[in-house]
A and B are shown apart, each in its own frame.
Chain A
Amino acid sequence: MSRQTMTTEAGTGATDRMTVNGIDLEVLRRGAGRPVLLLHGMDSVSPAAPYLDLLGRHAEIIAPSSPGFGHSPRPDDFDTIYDLVHLYLALLDELPYDKVTLLGLSFGGWLAAEIAAASSHRLDKLILVDPVGIKIGGREQRDILDVFNTNPAEVKRRSWHDEARAPDFDAMSDDELVVHARNWEALCLYAWHPYMYNPQLKQWLGRIRVPTLVLWGAGDQVVTPDYGRAYAGLIPNSRFELIEGAGHYPEQEQPERFVERIAAFLKS
């Protein structure tokens, strides 16, 4: 299997736009190297996040904001996980590469797992970082912290190894706050019911045929490492790795370690 060699220019950090299936998307581009389609988590990618430049030394990052997130508008009737999965399958068609590495964070990890289960022949590798998307426990057990019905202070405590790294709303610009509010609404629209998971996905993860890295913040209490191990256990060619000193957002809390693990995986 040949590898596509990449000769793209390093991204400037500006955001592009793409149109996929008639849908307008904001797309952040950064770095150079093998293409990595990065699907953001509960919040859209912050262009100033340190992990982007670090990862950009190893990969060309293509990070769209899903409809309703960031500055991507959301068309009427685009309102389900099904729509998101099909949008990204269509986006893969638009990219000038035979295969890409798919990297999904949290909510984006759910989407990445769905896409990989549907179409892993379009990918060369899969990376899931603290993904949601499946239910492991019984009907009276919560695998995934209910971020909507829980007090925000408690959500913060369970999400961050060091709460000081959580977003500081007082330090954010007006645009950043508006984006955050948009992200919150979009997440609620897509993920309210069933809450943060697809009951059917679990039984199809076995279809993922590419090498998969499942990274987990050791202190994640949104979805715990045990949940993560079970998730990884359902994907055939996968390995599970913990990142110490991080909760649900290891890319933000431990950017160097995060990128080291990914770089090692990409080389392997």
Chain B
Amino acid sequence: MQAWYLCENPYPFVPQEVLDQVDSVRASLPNKYCDPKVAAQLFEECLDEYRLCDEVGLNIISNEHHSGINCLYSASPLILGILARETKNVRILSLGTLVTARPDPVRIAEEYATADVISRGRIDIGFVKSGGSEMASANSNPIGNLERFWESIDLIKKTLSEHDGPFSWEGKYFTHRHVNIWPRPYQQPHPPLWAATGDPETSVELARRDIINATFVRGPDGTKKSWDAYRQARKDFGMPKAGPDRFAYMGFTYVGDSDEEGMRIGDKALWFLRVGARSATQYSRSLPGTNPPSQAPLLYRSAPPPGRSTGLASGVPHVGRPAAAFRNVTAEQAVARGVMFAGNPDTVFRQIMDFYDKVGGFEHLILMGRSGFMTHEEAEKGIRMFAKEVLPRLREVVHHDE
């Protein structure tokens, strides 16, 4: 197994009184509440944490969100460039710049190729469909998002792989009549591809394209559903069997000296779900295209009609992100649901392997190792503990087919 460290560089310092009065902490919260001096300090800490990961052998992930307290990385390619230069050892995954929210896939390919060259072939490329608040922030039509996602990936992949001179692309969503990027990527034919998704339908297409399927905070049942769909799709398409290297799971992860410390500090990271995920209804439940019209009877009424439960977590089910159901989650609940791994090294290893067994195995563990008010020192301790006490054991895990 491999491990990948993620911290989305959140900005938790907006006063709670302000947060309580707005309908969304993303997209519409004015940036007067973002003190650039504080942000500068946060960037310095997060980049130092990535450097530490490089020292201890933990792969790293850069990501991108827009206009909110959950993530100050508004431009993942910029961070990727820094990491490509500053690190020497580990792999760097961008998961990722928002391909459906950016108008120019060729430019995205240029960014990735450049980072891949600077890092001498240590980049992995990840695709994210983007959530509701990104649509508003990027002026990106939520309708057609999934089609745009695939066309963008197709164009990016071709741009990275074609070497015989300019080619033309006039697609439904993107036009670029003259594509010929310099430099081309270090890795041939292109860096490994990942995509974050929570729904089984998308997993089928990822299987067909041989793209690594990352799920975030879905718990074992939801994750297994997606990954089984992936495995089955490979059989259906007559493709080679999907090995564990096709699967990645993100959970909040904190290793302490003791179970108590692991849970107490790990709990801080759950700010991400409790506070940092709150999107107004117009960016989530009410956003066109978020839920199929057939589900309107469940979603539009203020209470389900008698005899019917909603049975549906509100939120954005098509993105591999947690729903509003996590708003008040405790650390114990998060662990029980398989969205957090926290405790002393033995406990965390056991929790991860528990999850591993439930989902039929996976190679890539993504740790969200810092969020909310967790301090830089706490994050760095967690990184060191994980790398020293848990990672070696994970590396020894050998996958057995059932």
Question: Taking beta carbons and an 8 Å cutoff, which residues of A are in contact with B?
Answer: 79, 148-152, 169-170, 172, 174, 177-182, 184-185, 187-189, 192-193
Whether A192 lies near B302 (C-beta < 8 A) is: no
Q: Is there a chain A Cβ closer than 8 Å to B15's Cβ? A: no
Query: Across the two chains, which residue of chain B brings its CB closest to A147?
Result: B282
25 residue pairs from A and B, CB less than 8 Å apart: A148-B282, A148-B288, A149-B283, A150-B282, A151-B280, A152-B281, A169-B300, A169-B301, A170-B301, A170-B303, A174-B296, A177-B297, A177-B301, A178-B296, A178-B297, A181-B291, A181-B292, A181-B295, A181-B300, A184-B288, A185-B293, A187-B288, A188-B289, A189-B143, A189-B288
Kindly list chain A residues whose C-beta atoms are within 8 Å of the C-beta of B21: none
Whether A185 lies near B300 (C-beta < 8 A) is: no
Query: Across the two chains, which residue of chain A brings its CB closest to B133?
Result: A149
Whether A182 lies near B293 (C-beta < 8 A) is: yes
Whether A192 lies near B286 (C-beta < 8 A) is: no
Judged by DSSP, the binding face of B is loop
Q: Is there a chain A Cβ closer than 8 Å to B139's Cβ? A: yes
Kindly list chain A residues whose C-beta atoms are within 8 Å of the C-beta of B144: 79, 189
Whether B287 lies near A170 (C-beta < 8 A) is: no
- State the Cβ distance, A172 to closest chain B Cβ, in Å: 8
Quick one: given A151-B23, A169-B300, A178-B294, are A185 and B288 in contact (CB under 8 Å)?
Answer: yes
Q: Is there a chain A Cβ closer than 8 Å to B141's Cβ? A: yes
CA distance A172 to B283 in the complex (A): 24
Query: Across the two chains, which residue of chain B brings its CB closest to A184?
Result: B288
Kindly list chain A residues whose C-beta atoms are within 8 Å of the C-beta of B28: 149
Taken residue by residue from 286 to 325, chain B's Cβ proximity to chain A (1 for < 8 Å, 0 otherwise) reads as: 1111011111110111110000000000000000000000
Kindly list chain B residues whose C-beta atoms are within 8 Å of the C-beta of A182: 293
Which residues 1-39 in B have Cβ within 8 Å of A in the complex? 23, 27-28
B144, B287, B297 — which one has the most chain A CB atoms within 10 A of its CB? B297
Q: Is there a chain A Cβ closer than 8 Å to B136's Cβ? A: yes
Q: Is there a chain A Cβ closer than 8 Å to B131's Cβ? A: no
Question: Which listed residue, A150, A170, A192, touches B141 by the CB 8 Å rule?
Answer: A192
CA distance A185 to B301 in the complex (A): 18
Whether A169 lies near B302 (C-beta < 8 A) is: yes
Taken residue by residue from 112 to 126, chain B's Cβ proximity to chain A (1 for < 8 Å, 0 otherwise) reads as: 000000000000000
CA distance A70 to B33 in the complex (A): 43
Kindly list chain A residues whose C-beta atoms are within 8 Å of the C-beta of B292: 181
For the complex of A and B, 5 pairs with smallest distance between CB atoms: A181-B293, A188-B288, A181-B296, A177-B296, A192-B141
Whether B287 lies near A148 (C-beta < 8 A) is: yes
Kindly list chain B residues whose C-beta atoms are within 8 Å of the C-beta of A172: 300
Query: Across the two chains, which residue of chain B brings its CB closest to A172?
Result: B300
- State the Cβ distance, A184 to closest chain B Cβ, in Å: 5
Quick one: given A188-B288, A189-B141, are A178 and B302 in contact (CB under 8 Å)?
Answer: no
Whether B293 lies near A152 (C-beta < 8 A) is: no
Whether B139 lies near A193 (C-beta < 8 A) is: yes
Whether A188 lies near B293 (C-beta < 8 A) is: no
Kindly list chain A residues whose C-beta atoms are within 8 Å of the C-beta of B295: 181
Q: Is there a chain A Cβ closer than 8 Å to B219's Cβ? A: no
Kindly list chain A residues whose C-beta atoms are within 8 Å of the C-beta of B262: none
Quick one: given A185-B143, A188-B141, A193-B139, are A152 and B282 in contact (CB under 8 Å)?
Answer: yes
Query: Across the two chains, which residue of chain A brings its CB closest to B294?
Result: A178
Kindly list chain B residues whose C-beta atoms are within 8 Å of the C-beta of A169: 300-302
Q: Is there a chain A Cβ closer than 8 Å to B191's Cβ? A: no
CA distance A174 to B303 in the complex (A): 13
Q: Is there a chain A Cβ closer than 8 Å to B142's Cβ? A: yes
CA distance A149 to B28 in the complex (A): 9
CA distance A170 to B300 in the complex (A): 8
B143, B144, B280, B302 — which one has the most chain A CB atoms within 10 A of its CB? B143
Whether A180 lies near B296 (C-beta < 8 A) is: yes
- State the Cβ distance, A199 to closest chain B Cβ, in Å: 15
Query: Across the two chains, which residue of chain A brings its CB closest to B280?
Result: A151
CA distance A184 to B286 in the complex (A): 9
Question: Which listed residue, B282, B286, B293, touches A178 by the CB 8 Å rule?
Answer: B293
Question: Which listed residue, B139, B142, B300, B301, touches A188 by the CB 8 Å rule?
Answer: B142
Query: Across the two chains, which residue of chain A brings its CB closest to B24?
Result: A151
Query: Across the two chains, which residue of chain B brings its CB closest to A189?
Result: B143
- State the Cβ distance, B242 to closest chain A Cβ, in Å: 30
Query: Across the two chains, which residue of chain B brings its CB closest to A169?
Result: B300
Whether B294 lies near A152 (C-beta < 8 A) is: no
List 16 extra interface pairs beyond A151-B23, A178-B294, CB under 8 A: A148-B287, A149-B27, A149-B28, A169-B300, A169-B301, A170-B303, A174-B296, A177-B300, A178-B293, A178-B296, A178-B297, A181-B293, A181-B296, A189-B144, A189-B288, A193-B139
- State the Cβ distance, A69 to closest chain B Cβ, in Å: 11
Question: Which listed residue, A150, A174, A192, A193, touches B297 by the CB 8 Å rule?
Answer: A174
- State the Cβ distance, B284 to closest chain A Cβ, in Å: 12
CA distance A169 to B303 in the complex (A): 10
CA distance A149 to B286 in the complex (A): 10
- State the Cβ distance, B30 to closest chain A Cβ, in Å: 15
Whether A149 lies near B136 (C-beta < 8 A) is: yes
- State the Cβ distance, A167 to closest chain B Cβ, in Å: 9
CA distance A179 to B296 in the complex (A): 9
